[in-house]
Chain A
Amino acid sequence: MKEVVVISGKGGTGKTSLVAAFAALAERKILVDCDVDAADLHLVLNPRIDRREDFSGGKKAAILEDLCTGCGKCQEVCRFSAVSSVAGPDGQNRFTVDPISCEGCGLCARLCPAEAIRFEPVVSGQWFISSTIYGPMVHARLGIAQANSGKLVSLLRREARGIAEKDGFNLLIADGSPGIGCPVIASITGADLVVAVTEPSCSGLHDVQRVVDLTSHFRIPLMLCINKWDIHPEMADRIERETGQRGVRMAGRIRYDPAVTRAQIMKTTVVEYTGGAISVDIRAVWRNVVYALG
């Protein structure tokens, strides 16, 4: 089974529209939306949820007001500024934990002399196994303002690989998140190929260079796709040249076409929406990706 992950560094370059098009073009595949923070793939692929599970990214501390003696040990040891003092019912100083700041290290709970801190797993999201007309899809929704997206991404990929092996799918296509941090690293480690989608702007160039740094750091093969290349052809050439010098292969160029937005509004993939030139571009990119996967 081969695993290809689409990322971008910079946001809004067209990852999800490209993955949706790949979903329509590929055979025998399973789809994963690794952008658990702002998942959009389901808006195009219209999945029917078959299985739904809670996700717990870790534990969080909560101070039991009646047991708190107000000693302040918790605040002293917390390195994430998650503990603050409040006035208790008797007017005495008490402490409280901000669940959004708490990183779940549990140190306060271990050191509280009054054993007044509860430290329990919290549900921080949900994940789903769904059916789409393009094949099975594994996706998730991370709760608002939650941490540990990397852990959730790893879980989604593990589940998807399990299904692929059981049901004999030979390809996994994943939609990644923007950036180069925790969820992106969790999306690409161990993948067979990363496709970076960029756009011809100086932000696109800057951000894709950081993606090249990242994939070289983890030694994952990378291919580049320049979306909306004709907005600024000279910059497209420059991106191709500068990443090419670093050994990055081109998956291809896709022209600018308002049909991409129209397809999204019609909740369908670009290649199904139009047989026009942009779909020819995308098919060529997909052929190169398949060829690179071997």
Chain B
Amino acid sequence: MKIAIASGKGGTGKTTIAVNLALTIASLGQPVTLLDCDVEEPNCHLFLKPEITGSRPVTIPQPNVLEERCNGCGVCADVCEYHALIVMGKQVLVFRELCHGCGACFLLCPEKAIVEEGHPIGAVEEGVSHGIHFIQGRLNIGEVMSPAVIRQVRVQGETTGVCIIDSPPGTSCPVVESVRGTNFVLLVTEPTPFGLHDLTLAVEMVRALARPFAVALNRCDAGDEGVRSYCEHERIEILLSIPDDRRIAESYARGDIDLSKLPEYREVFDRCYRRIAVLVNDGQDRADQEKRGRAA
């Protein structure tokens, strides 16, 4: 079962919820993997403090032009949709930051003058903490292809057990890469106009990806009623509500967000996890029934 923790707006509490869900599942004695897919600003490790036991680079294949073979025909630049190659006379300039590593130049060069070399854009790190199998991605400074790093985190984190995915904020390609193929998405927001607006975008996104989802409302007692009435109107379940508790803000600031030290929250996350498991199972049963119905 893969559960993604996402949000349109940043700073709503994704990491707090992802880490605490993972801790809750681990404390139930179940195998759990936590993937930090916020590869631009990965933060889970600050709270879990895992011992990193393995790290491997993420590379994307980029063109290297063999001067002795190149006749300056310009096909590579013509076929590159990202304008990552420019041919001047017999010289080919490669703009690495624009290259997506699609291989068009390499495959279509009539002179076979292009070879591909792995260009490092980040790393995937792995470790264990508090009984949680932990994997995080880290994008190198100045690189833009965060989805490629996220893809690698997802591949490395493939598991039969429960998997919690901490997503980056937003609704575009990095989030899609983190959320796709999951069994459930928990959209974290706060009861403010910004929180509501970005939640509506996030809801559109999970609906476009056809993922089952619910909302977690953080700092639920600070702000206005907008998010609650939107959820009621759209029939979206608010599956988790966390109050604006100064104790949480303080322990977060210190780098300690194990809320099981505050007994009332232990139960809150426990209930949240059980509810997600029920919703995921119900969804699967329904899908199976539909499949059987179609077959009949």
Contact between B223 and A261, CB atoms less than 8 A apart: yes
Contact between B10 and A12, CB atoms less than 8 A apart: yes
Contact between A200 and B11, CB atoms less than 8 A apart: no
Q: Which of A11, A59, A77, A80 contacts B10 (CB 8 A)?
A: A11
Residues of B within 8 A of A150 (CB): 144
Contact between B12 and A217, CB atoms less than 8 A apart: no
**Count of CB-CB pairs between chains A and B under 8 Å:** 182
Closest chain A residue to B97, Cβ basis: A185
Q: How far is the CA of A261 from the CA of B11 in the complex (A)?
A: 14
Q: Which of A40, A105, A264 contacts B104 (CB 8 A)?
A: A105
Contact between B172 and A142, CB atoms less than 8 A apart: yes
Residue tally, chain B, CB below 8 Å to A: 59
Contact between A13 and B169, CB atoms less than 8 A apart: no
Contact between B143 and A38, CB atoms less than 8 A apart: no
Q: How far is the CA of A10 from the CA of B100 in the complex (A)?
A: 26
Contact between B223 and A265, CB atoms less than 8 A apart: yes
Q: Is A240 an interface residue (CB 8 A)?
A: no
Closest chain A residue to B60, Cβ basis: A79
Closest Cβ–Cβ distance, residue B216 to chain A (whole Å): 14
Q: How far is the CA of A161 from the CA of B77 in the complex (A)?
A: 29
11 contacts across the A-B interface (CB closer than 8 A): A12-B169, A37-B8, A38-B198, A105-B81, A106-B81, A107-B103, A145-B175, A182-B144, A202-B46, A203-B43, A235-B253
Closest Cβ–Cβ distance, residue B201 to chain A (whole Å): 6
Closest chain B residue to A103, Cβ basis: B100
Closest Cβ–Cβ distance, residue A3 to chain B (whole Å): 20
Q: Is B249 an interface residue (CB 8 A)?
A: yes
Contact between A180 and B141, CB atoms less than 8 A apart: yes
Q: How far is the CA of A178 from the CA of B249 in the complex (A)?
A: 20
Q: Which of B101, B139, B173 contacts A79 (CB 8 A)?
A: B101
Q: Which of A213, A217, A231 contacts B249 (CB 8 A)?
A: A231
- Per DSSP, chain A at the interface is loop
Contact between B46 and A203, CB atoms less than 8 A apart: yes
**Interface segment, one of B126-134, B204-212, B228-236, B273-281:** B204-212
Given the interface pairs A11-B169, A105-B102, the reply to whether A145 lies near B209 with Cβ below 8 Å is yes
Q: Which of A16, A77, A144, A261 contacts B107 (CB 8 A)?
A: A77
Contact between B253 and A181, CB atoms less than 8 A apart: no
Closest chain B residue to A39, Cβ basis: B197
Contact between B81 and A104, CB atoms less than 8 A apart: yes
Q: Is A232 an interface residue (CB 8 A)?
A: yes
Q: Is A58 an interface residue (CB 8 A)?
A: yes
Q: Is B183 an interface residue (CB 8 A)?
A: no
Residues of B within 8 A of A149 (CB): 172-173
Q: How far is the CA of A181 from the CA of B142 in the complex (A)?
A: 7
- Which A15-42 residues have a C-beta within 8 angstroms of B? 16, 37-38, 40
Q: Is A86 an interface residue (CB 8 A)?
A: no
Given the interface pairs A107-B103, A107-B107, A207-B43, the reply to whether A181 lies near B146 with Cβ below 8 Å is yes
Q: Which of B38, B192, B204 contacts A144 (CB 8 A)?
A: B204
Q: Is A100 an interface residue (CB 8 A)?
A: yes
Q: Which of A58, A203, A235 contacts B81 (CB 8 A)?
A: A58
Closest Cβ–Cβ distance, residue B221 to chain A (whole Å): 11
Closest chain B residue to A106, Cβ basis: B81
Q: Is B174 an interface residue (CB 8 A)?
A: yes
Beyond the given pairs A144-B201, A232-B254, 10 more chain A to chain B contacts, judged by CB atoms under 8 angstroms and listed by A's residue number, are: A10-B41, A37-B8, A43-B193, A144-B208, A145-B171, A150-B144, A179-B168, A180-B139, A182-B145, A202-B46
Closest chain B residue to A8, Cβ basis: B10
Contact between B104 and A107, CB atoms less than 8 A apart: yes
Closest Cβ–Cβ distance, residue B173 to chain A (whole Å): 4
